[in-house]
Chain A
Amino acid sequence: MKTTRDLETLLQESEIAPTAQRRVIAQAIRDNTGHPDAETIYHLARQIDPHLGIATVYRTLKLFAEKGLVDRHDFGDGRARYEVAPESHHDHLICVRCGTVVEFARAQIEALQEEVARDEGFDLLDHRMELYGLCSACRGTRPRILDPPATAAGARLVRNLAQLAPGEAGRIVRVGAAEKLHQRLLSMGLVVGEVIRVERIAPLGDPISIRVKGTSLALRHPEAEAIVVEVVPTAGGRRK
């Protein structure tokens, strides 16, 4: 969410000494309307000050987060994302395919959350809500949205196949490949509802091998990314 406050006020409010470098980095985050990761912020900041180092950016972001100038998010794609701490609360929708983040705020949800906390005798300090799915662009022509959650309480972790670590398993939610590949994947047993497990990643990082219907298949990353799964717990699974 884009903030209306100017830089000086931002830094002052957070009690951060306004050095030139910090100003540049704060400005880079403020001017980006999305939820940039450190890498992106570094590139944006470099456009203002080409002498900036990546280490400085990381250090400064850490400081900003500690001082509450920015909010740090983990949307499960392995990189932290930042936004200027908003004046009013909002929640996020995250596309598991392309990483697009959409902000939303619904009074009913906020009210419901407070109600839940109250009923359980909680004093609500803060909360985060992240909804995972496929954005309209990634969904393309296929109108089917993810199945409703299996249980209302259990939050489902949705990933594409390329994001799973060896040993992790998932139930196929969607096979989003182009027609030709789609047919091929279907005929090899990659159908919605099937539980598949990532066996290993090739020594050079690509392709990966997966276990489906009792056989091993090798897939390259682009193909693996087209397969969206809901992570299912496994005994041998270890998270990265």
Chain B
Amino acid sequence: MTLRIAFAGNPNVGKSALVNAIAGTRLHVGNWPGVTVEKKEATFTFAGEEVRLVDLPGTYSLSSYSIEERVTRDYLLNERPDVVIDVVDATHLERNLFLTLQLLELGIPVVLALNMWDEAKERGIEIDTELLAKVLEVAVAATVATTREGVGELLPTARRLAAARPATIAAHNAACRDASLAEARPHVARYGPLVDPEVRLLGEALHRDAAALVERVPCRWLAVKLLEGDVGAQALLDGTGEGLRKQIAEQRRRIQTLAGDDPATVISDGRYGVAKGVVAEVIRQRPIDRRDLTELIDRVVLHRWLGIPIFFAMLWFVFHTTFDGAQPFVDFINQVITGPVERWFLVGLTAIGAPGWVASLVSEGVIGGAGFVLTFVPILFFLYLFMGILEGSGYMARAAFVMDRFFHTIGLHGKSFIPMILGFGCNVPAVYATRSLDSYRDRVLTSLLIPLMSCSARLPVYAVFVAAFFVEWRSTVIFSLYLLGILLAVGMGFLFKRSLFRGEAPVFVMELPPYRFPTFRSLMLYIWEKLQSFVRKAGTYILATSVVIWFFLNLPWGVQNPGDSYFGRVAGTVAPLFAPVGFGTWQATGALLTGVIAKEVVVSTMGEIYTPEPKVAATPPAVAAEIAEIGRGFVAACGDSVVAILAGLRLLPAPAQAPPPSALAQRMRDTFTPLRAIAFMVFVLTYIPCVVTMAALGQELGWRWSAFAAAYLLSLGWGLAFLTYQGGRLLGFA
């Protein structure tokens, strides 16, 4: 039989660190069904027994007011794990016990992991773990997730408790029916002389009128939640008699009248009362409320005048290092994939006598697609490195604190800033960066606006057109496009806030955790989790698209001119749609179509279509030499990355930039006019960013939002290009 262990706890208590310390790379990251809250699971064998760990989302309570709370509650109620490991921050025991007391009401055996034990010791907090275990009737283990101190105890303890689980549940059920037993437990879930009798009364009624329900749901927990007026608990009552509901309403009114406050407040007060009592008993030295290092850092980082400049400096550093630092690796991967790897495959395929079209499919469709996915890996590596540091250290919450006012006006959260800015580099990591936002609404809204941030892949497109048409106005034109993107994002933000997300006012209550050093191991695990999930999920999708596109370009068999392929025909068919916006040729639409795969490709497609060049034949490789070459290339890329990062920090001179293509510019002037060029660039700015972004959106928000984003971006882009082109014509431009 499998031992099922769930990890629960408040946010920022080191729960992930603890789960990582136990499960490591065995963790599998997915989503909870129906919601985009991350679900981490691991299954492995421990001392001859199969163990399944589930990391529940961090919550402060077991109510049903946020997705995290609902996910946690539903899992505990429906799946009934064998043991709950409740991770608490030993330095903030009182507040953490608020959740613990609710977990105890569920009747599942609880192991209390007193994490951050090192910090507690440092602050002179001494907790009598034996007494705590006795008072709460739980098992207690002191842990330091970062150094794994005490972590080894958790699983054996959990196993021991699981064995005694039937007894625990029986005791729980007995206590809930028998008043004298409940009195005998001095601390657990006592809400004072006013509420306790009501809980018991309701418990009895539940056993009487909703016997089937109480078989599934712990009755004491249910009674308390119903008295609190929790909507999720009320939903469980569906199908039971009207009498029960009346009784609850009456009991709630009684508490309200007698206590002079609403039942939820009275019960929370009671819970904190118990927590205070427990803390007073088990903590030998009261903690001193001093913020030491955190207070000092905050004084600077959140300073009235320095706060914003520091935030922007930090942002600039992340942005710059992510994209410049990753570039050499991107180039390296490109070279390896299109060079040696492709050649090896081709040679291999020829050797086994595969037909020419298979070779072409593999090299262009499969290897091209896979290579393209892999080029995102270095960028995402750097991104996740910084996100991991910013989140793990506690700065991310500060960034949100500093910028919230600004973003609040367009209906967003302060934390939206980082994803939005990253969008200028590449929309893909930006979409993934929305994970740091707590509410689904914020994540959707932010992700929908990210494509309007002109990513760096769109720059080459602008560059080609600007070089051909607006040489003197180069920077003004490009800057205006970026600005247009930002203005559109603000406008659409307002619009979405008023339409799609009307009435959903998210609350902003956020903890500012103390600053901590994220450990190397936790960072690497974090990056590993995210990268492998990207390659697996987005990768498959992109690879498939790439293969499909290859077929379109190469069917019917033997096409010589891309204009005659299915691709060219499709482009030609949709081309009239683009006549009103100024670029209704199959070449232009063809470039835009491939641009859906990646914006970089717009330029290369234009290059191929407008100035075709013959393919170079494959030469037999010298595998050993090439592997050595790849190794040297990687080392060189590491060096270049460091140079690029330092150069950006002005510590080294910048490396030379590649010159823009010029033959293409000449050909462009023959087919476009300046006005048409502007309309084209506006369209490129707004229409679907690229399949990878769409895949990321699908992965993060679901395919419906991804489709919505595609539809709204296409219409917005078309509309704007139309306005630009027709407006320009009215003003007398061609």
Contact of A188 among B95, B287, B304, B406 (CB under 8 A): B95
Interface size on B, residues (CB 8 A): 45
B268 at the interface (CB under 8 A from A): yes
A122 to nearest B CB, angstroms? 38
A142 to nearest B CB, angstroms? 7
Give 25 pairs: A residue, B residue, CB < 8 Å, sorted on A: A142-B261, A142-B262, A181-B507, A182-B264, A183-B264, A184-B61, A184-B507, A187-B268, A188-B60, A189-B98, A191-B268, A192-B265, A200-B302, A202-B302, A202-B401, A202-B404, A203-B307, A204-B404, A206-B408, A207-B401, A213-B92, A214-B91, A218-B508, A220-B404, A223-B507
Question: Which of chain A's residues have a CB closer than 8 A to the CB of B408?
Answer: 206, 220
B153 at the interface (CB under 8 A from A): no
Distance in angstroms between the alpha carbons of A182 and B229 in the assembled complex: 12
* B404–A206 CB distance below 8 A: yes
Question: Which of chain A's residues have a CB closer than 8 A to the CB of B98?
Answer: 187, 189
B385 at the interface (CB under 8 A from A): no
A143 at the interface (CB under 8 A from B): yes
* B65–A180 CB distance below 8 A: yes
B138 at the interface (CB under 8 A from A): no
Stretch at the interface among B216-224, B509-517, B559-567: B509-517
A232 at the interface (CB under 8 A from B): no
B206 to nearest A CB, angstroms? 22
Question: Which of chain B's residues have a CB closer than 8 A to the CB of A181?
Answer: 507, 509
Distance in angstroms between the alpha carbons of A93 and B536 in the assembled complex: 66
A186 at the interface (CB under 8 A from B): yes
Which residues of A (143-199) have their CB < 8 Å from a CB of B?
Answer: 143-144, 175, 179-189, 191-194, 199
B669 at the interface (CB under 8 A from A): no
Question: Which of chain B's residues have a CB closer than 8 A to the CB of A216?
Answer: 511-513
Contact A184:B509 (CB < 8 A) given known A202-B405, A205-B405? yes
A217 at the interface (CB under 8 A from B): yes
Distance in angstroms between the alpha carbons of A213 and B279 in the assembled complex: 12
Distance in angstroms between the alpha carbons of A216 and B92 in the assembled complex: 11
**Residues of B that sit less than 8 Å from A by CB:** 60-61, 63, 65-66, 91-92, 94-95, 98-99, 229, 260-262, 264-265, 268-269, 272, 287, 289, 298, 302-305, 307-308, 397, 400-406, 408, 507-513
A52 at the interface (CB under 8 A from B): no
Distance in angstroms between the alpha carbons of A97 and B425 in the assembled complex: 46
* A192–B269 CB distance below 8 A: yes
Distance in angstroms between the alpha carbons of A199 and B304 in the assembled complex: 13
* A218–B509 CB distance below 8 A: yes
Q: A183-B264, A216-B512, A218-B400 are in contact. List 16 more A-B contacts (CB 8 A).
A: A142-B261, A144-B260, A175-B265, A183-B65, A184-B60, A191-B265, A192-B261, A192-B265, A202-B302, A203-B305, A203-B308, A207-B508, A211-B289, A213-B95, A214-B92, A217-B512
A54 at the interface (CB under 8 A from B): no
Question: Which of chain A's residues have a CB closer than 8 A to the CB of B265?
Answer: 175, 182, 186, 191-192
Distance in angstroms between the alpha carbons of A209 and B305 in the assembled complex: 17
A38 at the interface (CB under 8 A from B): no
B353 to nearest A CB, angstroms? 67
Question: Which of chain B's residues have a CB closer than 8 A to the CB of A219?
Answer: 508-509
Distance in angstroms between the alpha carbons of A175 and B94 in the assembled complex: 20
Question: Which of chain A's residues have a CB closer than 8 A to the CB of B512?
Answer: 209, 215-218
Question: Which of chain A's residues have a CB closer than 8 A to the CB of B63?
Answer: 183, 187
* B510–A191 CB distance below 8 A: no
A234 to nearest B CB, angstroms? 12
Distance in angstroms between the alpha carbons of A42 and B691 in the assembled complex: 58
* A143–B260 CB distance below 8 A: yes
B309 to nearest A CB, angstroms? 9
Which residues of A (7-65) have their CB < 8 Å from a CB of B?
Answer: none
* A218–B92 CB distance below 8 A: no
Distance in angstroms between the alpha carbons of A201 and B302 in the assembled complex: 9
Distance in angstroms between the alpha carbons of A33 and B60 in the assembled complex: 47
Distance in angstroms between the alpha carbons of A9 and B408 in the assembled complex: 52
Contact of A203 among B269, B289, B402, B509 (CB under 8 A): B402
Question: Which of chain A's residues have a CB closer than 8 A to the CB of B401?
Answer: 202, 207, 209, 218
* B302–A223 CB distance below 8 A: no
**Residues of A that sit less than 8 Å from B by CB:** 142-144, 175, 179-189, 191-194, 199-207, 209, 211, 213-220, 223
Contact A184:B66 (CB < 8 A) given known A189-B272, A217-B510? yes
* A183–B61 CB distance below 8 A: yes
B302 to nearest A CB, angstroms? 6
CB closest chain-A residue, reference B400? A218
CB closest chain-B residue, reference A141? B262
A114 to nearest B CB, angstroms? 34
Distance in angstroms between the alpha carbons of A39 and B579 in the assembled complex: 57
Contact A180:B507 (CB < 8 A) given known A191-B269, A214-B91? yes
* B511–A215 CB distance below 8 A: yes
Question: Which of chain A's residues have a CB closer than 8 A to the CB of B404?
Answer: 202, 204, 206-207, 218, 220
A68 to nearest B CB, angstroms? 41
Question: Which of chain B's residues have a CB closer than 8 A to the CB of A211?
Answer: 289
Contact of A214 among B95, B268, B406, B509 (CB under 8 A): B95
Question: Which of chain B's residues have a CB closer than 8 A to the CB of A214?
Answer: 91-92, 94-95, 287, 289
B320 to nearest A CB, angstroms? 23
Contact of A200 among B61, B298, B403, B507 (CB under 8 A): B298
Question: Which of chain A's residues have a CB closer than 8 A to the CB of B405?
Answer: 202, 204-207
Distance in angstroms between the alpha carbons of A64 and B408 in the assembled complex: 42
Question: Which of chain A's residues have a CB closer than 8 A to the CB of B289?
Answer: 211, 214
CB closest chain-A residue, reference B270? A191
A134 to nearest B CB, angstroms? 14
* A188–B268 CB distance below 8 A: no
Distance in angstroms between the alpha carbons of A197 and B99 in the assembled complex: 23
B425 to nearest A CB, angstroms? 25
Question: Which of chain B's residues have a CB closer than 8 A to the CB of A191?
Answer: 265, 268-269, 272
A91 to nearest B CB, angstroms? 26
Contact of A215 among B92, B261, B406, B508 (CB under 8 A): B92
Question: Which of chain A's residues have a CB closer than 8 A to the CB of B229?
Answer: 179
Question: Which of chain B's residues have a CB closer than 8 A to the CB of A193?
Answer: 269
B314 to nearest A CB, angstroms? 14
* A217–B508 CB distance below 8 A: no
Question: Which of chain A's residues have a CB closer than 8 A to the CB of B304?
Answer: 201, 203
Distance in angstroms between the alpha carbons of A114 and B678 in the assembled complex: 83
Question: Which of chain A's residues have a CB closer than 8 A to the CB of B66?
Answer: 184
CB closest chain-B residue, reference A147? B260
CB closest chain-B residue, reference A205? B405
Tell me which of B66, B508, B513 has the highest count of chain A C-beta atoms within 10 A of its own C-beta: B508
Distance in angstroms between the alpha carbons of A211 and B298 in the assembled complex: 13
* A188–B261 CB distance below 8 A: no
Distance in angstroms between the alpha carbons of A144 and B255 in the assembled complex: 13
* B95–A189 CB distance below 8 A: yes
Distance in angstroms between the alpha carbons of A191 and B508 in the assembled complex: 18
CB closest chain-A residue, reference B302? A200
Question: Which of chain A's residues have a CB closer than 8 A to the CB of B272?
Answer: 189, 191, 194
Question: Which of chain B's residues have a CB closer than 8 A to the CB of A201?
Answer: 304
Which 9 residue pairs across A and B have the least CB separation, nearest first?
A187-B61, A204-B405, A216-B512, A187-B60, A203-B307, A186-B268, A213-B95, A144-B260, A218-B510
Distance in angstroms between the alpha carbons of A200 and B405 in the assembled complex: 14
* B508–A188 CB distance below 8 A: no
Tell me which of A142, A183, A204 has the highest count of chain B C-beta atoms within 10 A of its own C-beta: A183
A201 to nearest B CB, angstroms? 8
Distance in angstroms between the alpha carbons of A179 and B513 in the assembled complex: 25
Question: Which of chain A's residues have a CB closer than 8 A to the CB of B264?
Answer: 179, 182-183, 186
Contact A185:B509 (CB < 8 A) given known A192-B269, A218-B401, A220-B408? yes
B470 to nearest A CB, angstroms? 37
